[in-house]
């Protein structure tokens, strides 16, 4: 019988009703092509902790293999880096000894981007206030279109969407003088956000800060987008991470070093990623030993990792559909109805992507 190796991708969020919800993506690790991904399960949790995560993992295994769980076929487990996720994965390894647990590398990039945001309060203030100025304000929009024809409106970043804050910072770096000119035509007494924006733009270090961010951290949103792509080989995904590492290493000054150290720290804590790096080196012929592969993985297991995912973006996409399903006029849905609907929708074409 042909063996099917499996990747589990599990993520938890809180929905608009305050429920803790866990979605489980199941994927086939194929030796020759990117494997298909399916939403296997969606469960409401009493709490978000390692016990409930372990329980939903176990429930999902029985859904997949009701005749008996094939423990040695679970080779990869992808989650975020929440402490309870790591604790759950470590406890599960007692039963799934071949399972490599890796925390999402796209999320790791986002954590570094959030650190950058925390280092530049004036840039964060600019991004936060300018986006409010033109919201539902036709007269101000008209002024913008007149004074800044040819450039798009200021971005409205969603902080939980990976890399969008940095993209906003790049926008202001590219269009700083034009935006200043637009605000010179606005009345600061019309709105607090206008007054604050004008005040921030007058700060002498704002322009240099924007330039510093632009010059040193453009790789982060670019590489997040690459990691979100479907069908990457493990070798290609790891090269993206290495590109980020080398680019951040070149960042100058105290802040540049702090950001590089943050990235290094995040990667060092990701023990499963180290194992995947070693497997990738075997795939590429860079090394010819099993050294550094601590799990009970055998030679016959390694080929299944050729297209192994290192991000949880697919489960994030399932939550996007979940949020769209739970619209204002559907709040009376019971969770069992939501579960059946979202699983059906995500798997309608046999692919979640």
Q: Each residue of 301-344: pLDDT tens digit? A: 999 999 999 998 877 777 677 777 776 666 677 778 778 877 78
Do 243 and 304 belong together in one domain? no
For the segment 226-247, the average pLDDT, to the nearest whole number, is: 94
The pLDDT, as a whole number, for residue 268 is 95
| Residue 220 placed within a domain | yes
Percent of the chain with pLDDT over 70: 95
| Residue 275 placed within a domain | no
The pLDDT, as a whole number, for residue 230 is 82
| Residue 222 placed within a domain | yes
The pLDDT, as a whole number, for residue 267 is 96
| pLDDT above 50 (res 352) | no
**Where among 252, 269, 286 does a domain terminate?**
269
Rounded CA gap, 62 and 31, in Å?
25
Do 87 and 115 belong together in one domain? no
Q: Please, which pLDDT band fits residue 160 given cuts at 50, 70 and 90?
A: low
Q: What is the pLDDT of residues 168-223, one digit of tens each?
A: 999 999 999 999 999 999 999 999 999 999 999 999 999 999 999 999 999 999 99
| Residue 284 placed within a domain | no
Do 98 and 115 belong together in one domain? no
Do 310 and 262 belong together in one domain? no
Do 177 and 253 belong together in one domain? yes
The pLDDT, as a whole number, for residue 96 is 94
| Residue 208 placed within a domain | yes
Do 115 and 99 belong together in one domain? no
Domains: count for the chain: 2
The pLDDT, as a whole number, for residue 353 is 42
The pLDDT, as a whole number, for residue 176 is 96
For the segment 136-141, the average pLDDT, to the nearest whole number, is: 92
| Residue 207 placed within a domain | yes
Q: What is the pLDDT of residues 269-312, one digit of tens each?
A: 999 999 999 999 999 999 888 887 877 899 999 999 999 999 98
Do 135 and 185 belong together in one domain? yes
Do 182 and 320 belong together in one domain? no
Give the residue numbers spanning the domain of 89: 6-104+294-349
Global confidence as pTM: 0.89
**Where among 228, 254, 269 does a domain terminate?**
269
The pLDDT, as a whole number, for residue 351 is 46
**Where among 269, 286, 306 does a domain terminate?**
269
What CATH number corresponds to the domain at position 53? Answer: 3.30.420.10
| Residue 302 placed within a domain | yes
Do 100 and 147 belong together in one domain? no
The pLDDT, as a whole number, for residue 2 is 64
Do 162 and 246 belong together in one domain? yes
Q: Please, which pLDDT band fits residue 69 given cuts at 50, 70 and 90?
A: very high
Do 76 and 207 belong together in one domain? no
Regarding predicted confidence, which is higher, 16 or 231? 231
Do 100 and 114 belong together in one domain? no
| pLDDT above 80 (res 19) | yes
């Amino acid at each position: 019988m042909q063996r099917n190796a499996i990747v589990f991708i599990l993520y938890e969020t809180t929905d608009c009703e305050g429920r803790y919800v866990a979605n489980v993506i199941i994927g086939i690790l194929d030796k020759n092509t990117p494997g298909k991904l399916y939403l296997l399960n969606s469960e409401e949790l009493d709490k978000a902790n390692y016990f409930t995560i372990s329980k939903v993992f176990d429930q999902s295994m029985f859904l997949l293999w009701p005749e008996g769980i094939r423990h040695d076929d679970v080779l990869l487990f992808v989650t975020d880096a929440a402490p309870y996720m790591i604790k759950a994965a470590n406890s599960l390894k007692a039963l799934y000894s071949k399972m490599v647990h890796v925390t999402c590398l796209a999320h790791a990039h986002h954590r570094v981007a959030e650190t950058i945001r925390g280092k530049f309060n004036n840039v964060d203030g600019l991004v936060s206030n300018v986006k409010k100025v033109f919201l539902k304000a036709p007269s101000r929009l008209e002024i913008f279109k007149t004074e800044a024809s040819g450039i798009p409106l200021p971005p409205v970043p969603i902080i939980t969407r990976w890399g969008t804050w940095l993209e906003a910072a790049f926008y202001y770096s590219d269009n700083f003088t034009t935006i200043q000119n637009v605000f010179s035509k606005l009345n600061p007494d019309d709105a607090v956000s206008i007054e604050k924006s004008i005040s921030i733009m007058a700060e002498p270090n704002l322009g240099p800060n924007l330039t510093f961010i632009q010059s040193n951290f453009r790789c982060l949103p670019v590489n997040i987008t690459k990691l979100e792509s479907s069908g990457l080989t493990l070798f290609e995904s790891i090269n993206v991470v290495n590109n980020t590492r080398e680019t951040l290493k070149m960042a100058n000054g105290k802040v540049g070093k702090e950001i590089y150290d943050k990235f290094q720290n995040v990667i060092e804590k990701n023990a499963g990623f180290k194992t995947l790096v070693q497997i990738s080196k075997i795939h590429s012929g860079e090394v010819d030993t099993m050294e550094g592969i601590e799990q009970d993985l055998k030679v016959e297991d390694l080929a299944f990792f050729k297209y192994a995912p290192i991000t949880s973006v697919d489960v994030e996409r399932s939550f996007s559909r979940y949020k769209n399903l739970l619209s204002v006029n559907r709040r009376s849905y019971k969770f069992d109805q939501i579960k059946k609907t979202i699983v059906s929708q995500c798997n309608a074409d046999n692919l979640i992507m």
